[in-house]
Amino acid sequence: MLDPRIYRNGLMVVVVAVIVSAFSLGSQAAPLTATLVPDAFNGAAAYGTMQSLARQYPDRPPGSSADASIADYVAGSLSHAGFLVQRSEFQAQTVEGSRTLENVVGTLAGTTPGAIVIVAHRDAAHPGSTADLSGTGVLLALAQVLSQQTQQRSVVLVSTSGQVGAAGAAQLVGNLPGPVDAVIVLGDMAGLQVRSPVVVPWSDGQLVAPPLLRNTVTAALAAQTNISAHDESLGGQFLHLAFPLDASEQRPFVDGGEPAVLVSASGARMPAADEPTSPAQIGGFGRTILASISALESGPTVPPPSSYLRWAGKLIPAWAVRLLVLALILPVLGATVDGLARARRRGHRVGRWLLWVLSACLPFALAALAVVGLRAVGAIDVAPPGPVGGDALTLPGRAVAILVGLGCLIAAGLTIRWRIGRHLWGAAPPPAPPEPVPNGHTRARSRRAAVSDDPASPGAAAALLLVLCAVALVLWLANPFAAALLVPALHLWMWVIAPERRPRTPWAVLLFLLGLVPGALAAVYYAAVLGLGVAPAAWNAVLMLAGGPVSLISALEWSVVLGCVVSLAAMIVRIARQPRADPPETPITVRGPITYAGPGSLGGTRSTLRR
């Protein structure tokens, strides 16, 4: 029931969107340069502070007595360097459960409005973890250097706790003295293992740190170390905006509208507990931060975060991506609406198949609601306010039980749905009896004659495409990057279930699997970025839904997508069981050059020759 002409005409909109997107590419801002030589940074002192604190406090989980003791040490050092120190305690969720954490804020006033904020955590998820204290060592060494200089903008040095989930950073966002020009979060400053990207710009949503800040820090890093900060690939950037699951501490600041980046040798992941450290490495990173502060405090105002992609030195704005994704959805949507109207005119039922498709979403939606309920009753008591990397994620016995229970709930729901569907929707309706006419012949009772009504019918195909297009548009309104992951499935699966042009079973299965490739690539990418296996990745998803980074609305939207996947698999099985009808032989009704037999062969003609 799908008209290819409508689909082809809709592709003209895609051509226009591609042309508009090509003209939307913009140039990046040039990096700011430092006005002071950063050689004043004492890398040996920073390395010594890191080693001393690591030996004295080897086990320092968030909210522990060791964490509080380091906070006292940082506050005393900042006060001794001439900073105005403020301390704030708060209750937050961590990997250890609900704990009382503390932020230590030291402010060095400048001569003009604006502030440059440097943030470093002091806790660690595992005992040892010397490299996790390198940011604190750099922070205190910066305090000694900056206290001897006159700053145009204020410099704020902050020591936080609760790095896993970024609880301390999230608490700090609403309490920073404004206006804030830039935020630089210090991660692993001394580890020898370097992972890209060293400069991390992501947020909890679609906002990204401005190119001016990223380029300034990247240029300083290249000048002071032998490390080149490479950007992630275009696909990696796209997935970060489609699924904002970064586990590093700069993301609450960017999400709150502050220009912020993380600088870390380990990238977005935590350094290993036994990561070897180097005085030369911490010295190079310390000079990088000092050079960045010098460039930012004497330069122009840094713009706020925005949504964009970087490709070949150019910026692709988010509105161009939104336009292109909508243009790619419209051809399938137009063909679906036309196919829906054709199916209804020919007597195929669509409403019941809409319910059939949506019923496949219920098991996944119930699992999402079960996670929220388990969190409400306290069965899930550890839910940090952000993703947890594989370096800090543990799978206790309760977590395994919850995952098994959720899996059984989904399996049971799909089984019940299959059994009920066999009785309610699986059988075809009886043919309508013919209507007698006066001359003794019979004719159909109505134009809406009874037709086959099973998962392989045109009505089921129209219902599935209608639900899939609807959820794609809903996702597009909230996040066009996430909706783009459904575009291949829309265009490929349309031909799998098109009644007139269904491919053979092997090709149908291939098109079905190709439509799942974007989602599979996203899962593999994040498993590699966060260092997660299959079970830890599933538990991380449960924690994000329980802790709040993933909203219940988003979980329900993707439940609909999974229900469409299950429904399409059932339709392919039903289509494969149907015998393929041979095309009917069409009798020759018009004579052509090959079958022409001379004058008179067409019948009813007379020769014009004289006898």
* 306-358 residue pLDDT tens: 999 999 889 999 999 999 999 999 999 999 998 888 888 888 888 888 988 99
First to last CA, the chain: 59
Quick one: pLDDT band at residue 116, thresholds 50, 70, 90?
Answer: very high
Q: Decide if pLDDT at 378 tops 60.
A: yes
Q: What is the model's pLDDT at position 447? A: 42
Alpha-carbon Rg for the chain, nearest whole angstrom, is 32
Helix 362-377 vs helix 397-424: crossing angle, to nearest 10: 150
Amino acid 337 reads V
**Closest Cα partner for 67 from 107, 106, 95?**
95
**Closest Cα partner for 540 from 383, 335, 329?**
383
The answer to whether 303 touches 232, Cβ cutoff 8 Å, is no
Q: What is the model's pLDDT at position 384? A: 76
Phi/psi at 594 (5° precision): -75, -40
Instruction: Give helix then strand counts, H and E, for the chain.
Output: 19, 12
Residue 383 three-state SS: coil
What is the pLDDT averaged over residues 228-241? Answer: 87
Distance CA 211, CA 535 (A): 36
Q: Which tokens in the block code for residue 140?
A: 């205190």
Residue 133 three-state SS: helix
Give the 3-state DSSP-derived string for 264-314, with helices as H, strands as E and coil as C: CCCCCCCCCCCCCECHHHHHHHHHHHHHHHHHHHCCCCCCCCECEEEECCE
Classify residue 432 by its DSSP letter: P
Q: What is the DSSP string of 135-158?
A: HHHHHHHHHHHHTTS--SSEEEEE
Q: What is the model's pLDDT at position 471? A: 95
Residue 339 three-state SS: helix
Mean pLDDT over each residue of the chain, to the nearest integer? 85
Classify residue 191 by its DSSP letter: B
Task: Please give the sequence-ordered ranges of beta strands (E in DSSP) within 306-348, or none if there are none.
Answer: 308-311, 314-317
Whole-model pTM: value is 0.84
Residues belonging to the chain: 611
Q: For 63, left (φ over 0), alpha (ψ -120 to 50), or beta? A: left
What is the pLDDT averaged over residues 242-261? Answer: 90
Distance CA 39, CA 283 (A): 9
Distance CA 221, CA 558 (A): 40
Residue 480 three-state SS: helix
Q: Which tokens in the block code for residue 51?
A: 């080693």
**Closest Cα partner for 30 from 219, 238, 230?**
219
Q: Give the strand pairing for 154-160 and 115-121.
A: parallel
Distance CA 39, CA 503 (A): 68
Distance CA 265, CA 281 (A): 9
Q: What is the model's pLDDT at position 76? A: 94
Q: What is the model's pLDDT at position 428? A: 46
Highest averaged pLDDT of the listed ranges 32-41, 106-115, 511-520, 521-530: 511-520
pLDDT in tens, 185-231: 999 999 988 888 899 999 988 999 999 999 999 999 998 988 877 88
Q: What is the DSSP string of 91-108?
A: EEEETTEEEEEEEEEEEE
Percent of the chain with pLDDT strictly greater than 70: 88
What is the pLDDT averaged over residues 168-173? Answer: 91
Q: What is the model's pLDDT at position 394? A: 75
Residue 293 or 584, more confident:
293
Our measurement of the distance from residue 552's CA atom to the centroid of its chain's CA atoms, rounded to an integer in Å, reads: 15
Q: What is the model's pLDDT at position 483? A: 95
Residue 121 three-state SS: strand
Q: What is the DSSP string of 565-581?
A: HHHHHHHHHHHHHSPPP
Distance CA 96, CA 101 (A): 12
Q: What is the model's pLDDT at position 167? A: 87
**Closest Cα partner for 493 from 476, 524, 472, 523?**
472
Task: Spell out the domains of the chain, with CATH numbers in brackets.
Answer: 39-301 (3.40.630.10), 350-427+453-577 (no CATH)
Q: What is the model's pLDDT at position 599? A: 55
Q: What is the model's pLDDT at position 321? A: 95
Give, in order, the Cα–Cα distances in Å from 416 to each of 80, 124, 359. 69, 46, 10
For residues 158, 161, 164, 165, the Cα torsion angle rounded to the nearest 10 degrees is -80
The answer to whether 462 touches 3, Cβ cutoff 8 Å, is no
The answer to whether 265 touches 198, Cβ cutoff 8 Å, is yes
Q: What is the model's pLDDT at position 593? A: 54
How many of the other CB atoms lie within 10 Å of CB of 307? 19
**Closest Cα partner for 239 from 131, 124, 321, 139?**
321
Residue 159 three-state SS: strand
Q: Decide if pLDDT at 479 tops 90.
A: yes
Q: Which tokens in the block code for residue 336?
A: 């679906």
The answer to whether 212 touches 302, Cβ cutoff 8 Å, is yes
Residue 59 three-state SS: coil
Q: What is the model's pLDDT at position 424? A: 56
How many of the other CB atoms lie within 10 Å of CB of 423? 8
Question: Cβ-count burial of 501 within 10 angstroms (0-12 exposed, 13-18 middle, 19+ buried)?
Answer: exposed
Distance CA 327, CA 574 (A): 32
Residue 316 three-state SS: strand
pLDDT in tens, 541-589: 888 888 777 888 999 999 999 999 999 998 888 887 766 555 555 555 5
Distance CA 532, CA 435 (A): 66
Distance CA 46, CA 118 (A): 15
Distance CA 43, CA 563 (A): 56
